[in-house]
Amino acid sequence: MGYHVPLFTALLLALAAPLRAEPAVAPLAALLDIAAVPALGAEGLADYARFLQQPTPRVFALSPSGAWGWAAGQPDLPATEARAIALCAQWGGAGCQVYARDLAVAWPGQERHAQPPPTLPAQGGPGWAMVPDGRFLWRGPGRARGAYVWAHGRASGGQDSRGSQPQPHVRVFNNAGWDVLRFDRDPALDETATASDWLHAALRVLRAEGYARIIVGGQSRGAWNALQALDEPGLVDGVVAVAPAAHGPKGSPAWEWAVADLQQVLRQARSPAARVAVAIFAGDEFDPDPAARRRLFRALAAPQVSALLLLDRPAGLTGHGGGAEPVFTQRYGACLLAFMEARPEPCG
């Protein structure tokens, strides 16, 4: 069952745990200060910049002689650390040590730890929660440039996606000063309309907490719910919809009305100040008609929304999970950030 938004907004406003910024343990700039990494030349500093876009667990190892190596996405942090140090040694490093581990600088004499986010969900109810993601740097509403809310997909097999790490492009926003929260849903209760109601109510509370800008991004069904948030003026400042879908994979009986349902969602957009980015991929088994969907997205324009960026089946990225590939972040992470902040930046 779901919450009816008008009845529960006041309750959520009263019960939501405030997302106040506590005094920082150390400046956030420590981890993100590329020039502060000792011993590295230009090539190494550029690789450290790439490291900062990686998911956790992640480790950057460094030798006093200037060799380096990093690893990310290993089964656990000890395995990641061992891999990073081994790579550093493989590239000729003697005495390789950890420089950065997840969100912390660990180099002797330069140790810095990031401010942890609140430990409790920002808000929630039966079947859902809005959760500050502790794998990302945290500033709080008073200092962050905005909030990026990430909505996971809904697995066709009913797997539980709660707690899954947002796609890597979200880290580009986080490194630039945006807080990251997850919109987690119980797969047993995660129906499309119900989740949309939850998200609408949660975003109203998040706005009341003091975030100047709010972006909702998502993959698959999460992206579909993000697009649904455009029906309320002022609810969001931007949407990043990666492979939006809500009707199952190829062969699903719901495919018959999938395009019509998308058309209805886009017709309901009433957010003249919002910027919308959509990524669709060739070979997406959840996309019943790529050409028709492309036409619908291209028709989304002022006064419904402020601006549209359509990444239409980019070369080298295929399938429903194309947005999770490293090349997607390398190619489009910076331009997505620039687009959402209304700055000129070529894409691709």
Task: Note the pLDDT tens digit of each residue in 242-278.
Answer: 999 999 999 889 989 999 999 999 999 999 999 999 9
Q: Which domain holds residue 74?
A: 29-105
Q: What is the 3-state secondary structure (H, E, C) of 162-225?
A: CCCCCCCHHHHHHHCCEEEEEEEECCCCCCHHHHHHHHHHHHHHHHHCCCCCEEEEEECHHHHH
**Which of 105, 135, 150 marks a domain boundary?**
105
Q: pLDDT category, 116, cuts 50, 70, 90?
A: confident
Tell whether 71 is covered by a domain: yes
Q: 65 and 185 in one domain?
A: no
Task: Compute the radius of gyration of the chain from its Cα atoms.
Answer: 21
Average pLDDT over residues 157-167: 92
User: How many domains does one find in the chain?
Assistant: 2
Q: Percent of the chain beyond pLDDT 70?
A: 91
- Does one domain contain both 190 and 269? yes
12 and 55 assigned to the same domain = no
Confidence of residue 155 (pLDDT cuts 50, 70, 90): confident
The reply to whether 134 and 75 lie within a common domain is: no
Residues 221 and 293 in one domain: yes
Check residue 348 and give its pLDDT: 60
pLDDT at 16 over 50: no
So what's the pLDDT on residue 28?
62
Please name every residue paired with 240 in a beta bridge, in sequence order, or none if there are none: 217, 277
pLDDT at 10 over 50: no
Point out the domain boundary residue: 84, 105, 126.
105
| DSSP strand pairing (97-101 vs 104-105) | antiparallel
Task: Say if CB 55 and CB 150 are below 8 A apart.
Answer: no
Q: Is the pLDDT of residue 171 over 70?
A: yes
Q: Which residue reads 């990444």 in tokens?
A: 311
Phi, psi of 318 (to 5 degrees): -135, 160
- For the cut 80, the answer to whether the pLDDT of residue 29 exceeds it is no
Are 189 and 265 contained in the same domain? yes
Mean pLDDT over the full length of the chain: 89
Residue ranges of alpha helices (H) inside 55-113 are 77-90
Together in a domain, 96 and 51: yes
Is pLDDT at 120 greater than 50 in this prediction?
A: yes
Q: Is the per-residue pLDDT at 345 higher than 80?
A: no
Q: What pLDDT band is residue 73 in, cutting at 50, 70 and 90?
A: confident
pLDDT value for 25? 37
Q: Are 100 and 139 within one domain? A: no
Residue range 84-109: average pLDDT? 94
Cα distances from 285 to residues 50, 154, 260, 282, in angstroms, run 30, 14, 18, 9
What confidence tens digit (pLDDT) does each residue in 185-243 have? 999 999 999 999 999 999 999 999 999 999 999 999 999 999 999 999 999 999 999 99
